[in-house]
Chain A
């Protein structure tokens, strides 16, 4: 680059402001609980949550598992559901985008099912799968598959029509056009679905575990409520948030690599 980038220097105050804000937030939270402004039965102080976290690293009681086990179970469910959503949703969306027959068969059913929130499936899922792993995987899959189908579908529909005409003049078959034009054109949209589907999967994971589970981070929250332990509820919430953020960062990294591979 010929020009030097213009560097904007942030004043020191602005750099420190976020830290200050976070410290104040937790300080105020700790204070209102300690001072009894909010009773301890309604909210746990951050220090209590921290102490519980340290305890739960090794102690499976009273909810039946350590925090690692809960996190591991949630991760497994989320990733199984997520991978199945990608594996089924993306090919389905791609085929729906190009092949009229697939579109004709799958689209009406897809449009009927799409507006039903995955959580509404929980009772049926419990009938079908019980409260084990696969019931929750199904709920998570439902949440993840919708954005996969939509993004892959839209990606294929955006294929430049002139390119399709060009291939037609060379005598290309429908399958050749799909493989050599539609799929590569749809890739950026498909990669976009990775992040959206993950967010959807993670949200539905917690919902599924709140209602039907015996392990997992969502279950930790439910148990905290049943046992009237606000510190356990908050610990469950924070763990879900932190893990979701971490997985999001990881997927972001994967997405960047993939996009760098095709955007030259």
Chain B
């Protein structure tokens, strides 16, 4: 099933071994420009490894990732990665943290100022911008990293269970905010989670991974209008379908 939009990300024959352990086995798929793709899979199947390969943090054993037809390269492309654990810099204020990615990419100073103001407004951190990360709540800390990730106008935004450590109510709130950011800023997102409901709630398309050696087991399109409702029968139907796919191996 090819993506609806023009191809932005092209993953070809991605294979990753750790010594004798084959973790990712010849995975190929495409992501359209501005698409929101979720990846779900059993624990330990290699989701984090997968993102690390996509972001070029670790080398692949075979195959490669292409962005706009060129081999992905963090120095050339704008790749953002929201890690599972908070990665705010404790010695920088909220504002300086949001600016950090753009500073690394040497954006001009006035562009950074303008863009940070815009992002702080979007995620509701304008009032707390001069505080330090340990002075704001846990949910805000993850919003800082999400704002930092969107701020560089990423070609590819990778998220590794960003809300896994937060309580349910906050999660819904931040997921709504994430969808809003994605709609406003039109980024291409790959969102990894083991929470199926979360995947169905945020994504346009879901890739279901198998156990190791990991392949793409199935692909589910989520054609539901937004804002989505967790109790909408169509929503429940898709959630059950994905759950069955994961459970049945």
* Residues in A lying within 8 Å of B, measured CB to CB: 162-163, 165-172, 176, 180-181, 184, 187, 262, 264
A168, A171, A172, A176 interface centre (most CB from chain B within 10 Å): A171
A-B contact count (CB 8 A): 52
A165 close to B83 (CB less than 8 A): yes
Contacts of A180 in B (CB 8 A): 89, 100, 103-104
Query: What's the least CB distance linking B89 to chain A, in Å?
Result: 7
Listed A/B pairs (14) with beta-carbon separation below 8 Å: A163-B89, A166-B87, A168-B57, A169-B55, A169-B79, A170-B74, A170-B101, A170-B152, A171-B75, A171-B78, A180-B103, A181-B89, A187-B91, A264-B134
A162, A168, A169, A264 interface centre (most CB from chain B within 10 Å): A169
Contacts of B87 in A (CB 8 A): 162-163, 166
B113 within 8 Å of A (CB atoms):
no
B56, B78, B83, B89 interface centre (most CB from chain A within 10 Å): B89
B104 close to A167 (CB less than 8 A): yes
| Assembly CA distance A160 to B204 (angstroms) | 34
| B interface residues, how many (CB within 8 angstroms) | 26
Tell which of B85, B91, B104 touches A172, judged by Cβ atoms closer than 8 Å: B104
Interface string of B101-131 (1 = CB under 8 A from A): 1011100000000000000000000000000
A169 close to B81 (CB less than 8 A): yes
B80 within 8 Å of A (CB atoms):
yes
B132 within 8 Å of A (CB atoms):
yes
Query: What's the least CB distance linking B154 to chain A, in Å?
Result: 9
Contacts of B105 in A (CB 8 A): 170-171
* Residues in B lying within 8 Å of A, measured CB to CB: 55-57, 74-76, 78-81, 83, 85, 87, 89-91, 100-101, 103-105, 132, 134-135, 152, 158
B89 close to A169 (CB less than 8 A): no
Tell which of A163, A168, A184 touches B74, judged by Cβ atoms closer than 8 Å: A168
| Assembly CA distance A171 to B56 (angstroms) | 10
Contacts of B55 in A (CB 8 A): 169
Which of chain B's residues has its CB closest to A184's CB? Answer: B91
| Assembly CA distance A180 to B91 (angstroms) | 10
Query: What's the least CB distance linking B102 to chain A, in Å?
Result: 9
A169 close to B100 (CB less than 8 A): no
